[in-house]
Structure 1
């Protein structure tokens, strides 16, 4: 087992110069705007099926299980995309990885839109294969974006605004989901019965931001921390000087290079890793107890986020409303409320991200979402089917759940995952954690329709409530804090195990 020792002291951030103003601030804004198109695509592609799936199933003759395969194929592929995109971004850079993902977004959407209609109801028909292949390509892109974009933003962001800058990606995700819900509703209301295959139009919209992401990222810089880890110090300095004031750029680069050099000499002591341009393998991670504990915490947070059932609502919100007693037409329109409050919650979360500790937001969020799970189950029990109040009561409670989730969990989780792993471990650490989260997401996407149809809303949300209580206990005991520390300070605290100590 490799003996990995921590440096004796961490660099101090006290008295640092102001992070950005003027041109550097504008440049950071441009970078986040372009990179967050990846989040917008993530949101649109995961949300478009919520409203399109009914029209698609009707036209193609898909049964419930086949529909689950089409929807969940994206999610399971996203798990693989998250796992491998982190390693790819370690190898070729964050910027190039995002450019590659934009191509997957574009060609995946094209395959879905132009999948042939003949015999699609058959599992082994060519049309079904093209449709599922397109969804898999989109899934690889979605999973990759969920891993690489937050890391890219976190590595470029100043400490003081790292949470809010990185959190913009999650806001872009829910904005993409809201956009999908609104476009689906407009198309369903205006074109249903007038144009055949309206679900294809819903999916086609995805190609436009994919093109914008591709050309936009061609003009964006590489992560300076990735460049330092490759030993490309001069390039890193040039990038940092475009996103910081001169004094702050000098201070941060001196700290980053110092910690990088010290890590090479003292931290790892592993011949194949100690070179300036290498990254840790899974074997390297498992050789250190603190990194193993960190990886478990990362997996737990990613899985806990998915087990709240938030994406079951984002994928199948219209189905939940229909099961509660709402008409299909009204459910598509009412579903917009879920996307709208998600965006509102995201805006509140960004405001609080650099003010509240990550652990505090996790605990508040899980407490609120678990409470709403219980309230939804109670409403489903006390208000029998056929009661005119039932669908609206359940809709209001689900809106409260989505608002709580977005305000206190979704943004914070993605920011925390982008921060918590050391630079050498970011690719594999973030990739494995997000892979596990997407895997659970895929299981929910595949079986949630059958779960709601089989046991009803009450039991389904009671299950979520029990899992939420378990997740709350896990976060309280095992999840370390990251707010208020530079990424280099976090590296020191992680390798020494101090990050797990409670003050």
Structure 2
């Protein structure tokens, strides 16, 4: 008995070691796959952030000689393309697969970035920045989808929000590259071409990396490729039994989805559906009109107008990027601890206060040597509240408020309006800045922030701790607790 017991213990210990090794291997492959796929988010950040430092160089008469209107189109053309890319990316990925589409998007990123870096005139630049937006919009939809389909339920939230972190990291990386090139080679008028060209590096890494990640198991099951789905999933999970169980769950979920009639535009005649879609549109428009991208796209311009030398503004802008990354990390940790509405309205109060302070210091201390430092502090405050309280929360709410049969319509329409609002803000900001000056331009966005606060307070539903079905019931049958639980 003693010998048998010892053998059993030895066997048990061996099994535990084997399981431990398998779990470490699966965890490593999952983390590596997530890192590679979120290079799409990094590209999103780099390509939207790089223009911050490059626009000042390319606008000069000796380069592209941009008017304020041209500056707006060069900056925001990428978001107009993203609006279109976001709408069609889901359907294209359902046809050809998440992995293959990300590979194709990497090629679009590379070609369009190369074209922008050698642009001979404003028209050429605007066209290829808009085409680059197709890849940005596609990545903004497909990367979170892919991450949600390869992750386990226990880590899905953290893994999907990792993409948001990679976006702001990409913007920070672009700010750092801009500062280095601008300060070391700022005397070279065409240095902006190298700033933009930097985006080709992560595009190459994404393309190569997609050869080393599996296809989405859910997509493979959807296409009837069950054996391939098992092979794909087995690289990301420790136990074969769990792979079989998960594939069975995917099959059951897909069968249920086939039985659900998806909502169309005709369903907007139903009051509760129309109300829910309009709330989704409002959230998307609100997020952009608060003014985040006047900081991310024109931060260097704002700091230059405040009194910084251009090279110093490039360096100061790095601090904006650092705050964005830190605030995103903090916001991710708060999401499941604080009510959505309270977090959102608190964030808007913070962004409004930041913009008001910029107006006050610009008007009262216009000749003070500390004005640039105060403006930097205010922009950092703005970014802290926005990236920590508003940005990740809006995306989370959009993923929560739509029931399954309404998700395709609701997310598609809401995302389109979000990107189109992004385009409007990016296009009109330099025109307003040229015509009204900095103080009055920021007053316009103070007004938008006040409107956003009232919208968030009155219409944003509280979704924390509620199922999608419960949210649907509250909207469908008029339970006000689904809209404003604190108004009771």
3-state secondary structure, aligned to 1:135: helix
The answer as to 2:93 corresponding to 1:89 is yes
The answer as to 2:166 corresponding to 1:204 is no
Partner of 2:149: 155
The answer as to 2:299 corresponding to 1:305 is no
Structure 1: distance between partners of 2:127 and 2:434: 27
Q: Deviations over 1:328-367 (max 9, x none)?
A: 2322221111111111112222333444454443233223
Instruction: Report the CA distance between 1:452 and its aligned residue.
Output: 2.3
Partner of 1:447: 428
2:451 corresponds to which of 470, 476, 493:
470
Partner of 1:10: none
TM-score (norm: length of structure 1): 0.82
Structure 1: distance between partners of 2:310 and 2:170: 22
Gaps of 5+ in 2: 1-21
The answer as to 2:26 corresponding to 1:33 is no
Partner of 1:413: 394
1:62 corresponds to which of 44, 47, 66:
66
Structure 1: distance between partners of 2:149 and 2:337: 20
3-state secondary structure, aligned to 2:155: helix
The answer as to 2:237 corresponding to 1:257 is no
Contact 2:402 2:472 in 1 (8 A): no
The answer as to 2:323 corresponding to 1:319 is no
3-state secondary structure, aligned to 2:430: helix
Partner of 1:401: 382
Instruction: Report the CA distance between 1:40 and its aligned residue.
Output: 0.8
Structure 2: distance between partners of 1:249 and 1:44: 36
The answer as to 2:176 corresponding to 1:182 is yes
Instruction: Report the CA distance between 1:431 and its aligned residue.
Output: 3.1
Contact 2:57 2:189 in 1 (8 A): no
Contact 1:303 1:436 in 2 (8 A): yes
Contact 1:154 1:418 in 2 (8 A): no
Partner of 2:44: 42
Partner of 2:312: 330
Q: Deviations over 1:134-165 (max 9, x none)?
A: 21221111121122212222333333333221
Contact 2:331 2:388 in 1 (8 A): yes
3-state secondary structure, aligned to 1:60: coil
Gaps of 5+ in 1: 1-19, 121-127, 269-279
Q: Which has the higher helix share?
A: 2
Q: Deviations over 1:203-252 (max 9, x none)?
A: 11111111111121233233344445555555545544544454665555
1:131 corresponds to which of 125, 130, 133:
125
2:362 corresponds to which of 361, 365, 380:
380
Instruction: Report the CA distance between 1:397 and its aligned residue.
Output: 0.9
Structure 1: distance between partners of 2:37 and 2:404: 20
Q: Deviations over 1:63-109 (max 9, x none)?
A: 22222222222221122122222332233333222222111101101
Partner of 2:11: none
Instruction: Report the CA distance between 1:301 and its aligned residue.
Output: 1.8
TM-score (norm: length of structure 2): 0.84
Q: Which deviates further from its counterpart, 423-432 or 130-139?
A: 423-432
Alignment of 1:98-117 (within 5 A): 98-116=102-120
- Structure of greater relative contact order (alpha carbons < 8 Å, 6+ residues apart): 1
Q: Which deviates further from its counterpart, 439-448 or 367-376?
A: 367-376
Contact 1:302 1:433 in 2 (8 A): yes
Q: Deviations over 1:367-400 (max 9, x none)?
A: 32122222222323332x2122222112101111
Structure 2: distance between partners of 1:468 and 1:24: 45
Cα separation, partners in 2 of 1:412 and 1:163, compared to 1, 3 Å: farther
Q: Deviations over 1:277-312 (max 9, x none)?
A: xxx473465476554444323222222111111111
Q: Deviations over 1:461-481 (max 9, x none)?
A: 333233223323333443445
1:369 corresponds to which of 335, 344, 351:
351
Contact 2:68 2:434 in 1 (8 A): no
Contact 1:89 1:427 in 2 (8 A): no
Structure 1: distance between partners of 2:205 and 2:75: 25
